[in-house]
Amino acid sequence: MSAPVPPVPMPPRNVPALLAQLLAEDFTGAVEVPGAPGGTIHLRRGLVVAVDTPNAPSVETLLIRSGRVGEDGWAAAVSRRAATVAEGTDGDGTLNTVLTGLGLVGHGELEAVCIAAVYDAAFAMALNPAEGWTVHEGSVAPELAAWPGESPRTLADETARRIAALTRNWGSLAELAAARCRPATRVEPGSLTARQQAVLLAANGRRTPRDIAFFLGCGVYPAMLDIARLRARRLVEWEAPRAVAALPITARRATPAESQPESRGKLPRRVPRDPSGSGTTPGRASL
């Protein structure tokens, strides 16, 4: 009589299921999620301590761009940290303790920024579907990380809530994430909060909510919330994304001879102003 075959464990179906499994295993290491742009989720004993993604500001960016820590102070902290490593006195010299020890930021504020960065980066990663993952056991987490870490279940629930909240109030998250918004009308600054004024000033028609988040040193989700609320008050606008791929190519294909540098015309030269002072150049329409 043959022994019963143990059931083969089912592979996790998505990243939240993988993180739940890693929590049960008390896993310490990282989960690399490829994609556009993807990111890395750092775990300590199964809890999420940091999430790195190009789609969301890092703790460093949040601290510096928001004005919590000056650039000179940050440079001093990094130098002090490097010195402690070089001296081999690494015991209590993490960047976290150096920043608070130098009085550059409070314990509570740094802790809040690290926690907020985890949730914001998870949200930013979730805006694009994950394309698989790679688990790296024992990899070292960033120094500026949440402590002791966030529950994967809480992180997944909050990410889902954020996506649902924006989708319910807005609709297409892809359109909102790609929106290069600009002020829609002249606004009396007094009718806005300081935060709304800052977002409106940052919205210059070239920045997406992600760009605004990096510029102001705030999260991507808060920036998207701000943009959505300002849009609801008709204070910002943006053009609908153009379907570039669907447009037919009508330009004449250049021959190889035309693409040679020497066959191109001369570079345009600045035309001197009209000495009469009329402000226009002869033969050209004034703008």
Partner 1 sequence: MDGVTGLTYRAAGDFSAVGAGFEIAELTGLITGGLHEAGAAGELESVVITGSRLHEVVQAVPGRSALNAVMLVLVLERERSNLALAVREAAELAESVLT
Nearest CB to partner 1, comparing residues 169 and 281: 169
Task: Please give the distance of CA 76 from its chain centroid, rounded to a whole number.
Answer: 25
User: In the complex, what is the shortest distance from the CB of residue 252 to partner 1, in angstroms, rounded to a whole number?
Assistant: 50
- Exactly one of 68, 81, 207, 210 binds partner 1 (CB under 8 A); which one? 68
By CB under 8 A, is residue 39 in contact with partner 1?
Answer: no
- Exactly one of 12, 21, 60, 111 binds partner 1 (CB under 8 A); which one? 111
Residues in contact with partner 1, shown as a per-residue x/- string from 69 to 88 under the rule CB under 8 A = x-------------------
Amino acid code (one letter) for 207:
R
Strands 134-137 and 29-33: antiparallel
By CB under 8 A, is residue 225 in contact with partner 1?
Answer: yes
Task: Please give the distance of CA 86 from its chain centroid, rounded to a whole number.
Answer: 32
By CB under 8 A, is residue 191 in contact with partner 1?
Answer: yes
Burial class (CB in 10 A: 0-12, 13-18, 19+), 173: middle
By CB under 8 A, is residue 216 in contact with partner 1?
Answer: yes
Amino acid code (one letter) for 261:
P
Segment contacting partner 1 by CB under 8 A, of 5-13, 26-34, 177-185, 218-226: 218-226
- Indicate the SS3 state at residue 35: coil
Beta-carbon contacts of residue 272 (< 8 Å; ≥ 6 apart): none
Asked if residues 181 and 231 have their Cβ atoms less than 8 Å apart, the reply is yes
Per DSSP, helices labelled H in the chain are 15-24, 59-65, 71-87, 95-101, 107-126, 152-169, 173-178, 194-202, 209-216, 220-232
User: In the complex, what is the shortest distance from the CB of residue 222 to partner 1, in angstroms, rounded to a whole number?
Assistant: 4
User: In the complex, what is the shortest distance from the CB of residue 105 to partner 1, in angstroms, rounded to a whole number?
Assistant: 7
Asked if residues 180 and 207 have their Cβ atoms less than 8 Å apart, the reply is yes
- Indicate the SS3 state at residue 240: coil
By CB under 8 A, is residue 102 in contact with partner 1?
Answer: no
Nearest CB to partner 1, comparing residues 41 and 63: 63
Q: Can you tell me the distance from the alpha carbon of 58 to that of 117, in angstroms, rounded to the nearest whole number?
A: 7
Write out the H or E segment, with its range, that includes residue 183: strand 182-183
User: In the complex, what is the shortest distance from the CB of residue 149 to partner 1, in angstroms, rounded to a whole number?
Assistant: 13
Nearest CB to partner 1, comparing residues 21 and 170: 170
By CB under 8 A, is residue 98 in contact with partner 1?
Answer: no
How many residues interact with partner 1 (rule CB under 8 A)? Answer: 36
By CB under 8 A, is residue 221 in contact with partner 1?
Answer: yes
Beta-carbon contacts of residue 10 (< 8 Å; ≥ 6 apart): none
- Exactly one of 32, 60, 109, 237 binds partner 1 (CB under 8 A); which one? 109
Binding residues for partner 1 restricted to 143-162, rule: CB under 8 A? 158, 161-162
User: In the complex, what is the shortest distance from the CB of residue 94 to partner 1, in angstroms, rounded to a whole number?
Assistant: 19
Binding residues for partner 1 restricted to 45-64, rule: CB under 8 A? 62
Task: Please give the distance of CA 26 from its chain centroid, rounded to a whole number.
Answer: 29
Q: Can you tell me the distance from the alpha carbon of 251 to that of 241, in angstroms, rounded to the nearest whole number?
A: 22
- Binding interface with partner 1 (CB under 8 A): 62, 66-69, 105-109, 111-112, 115-116, 119, 158, 161-162, 165, 190-196, 198, 216-219, 221-222, 225-226, 229
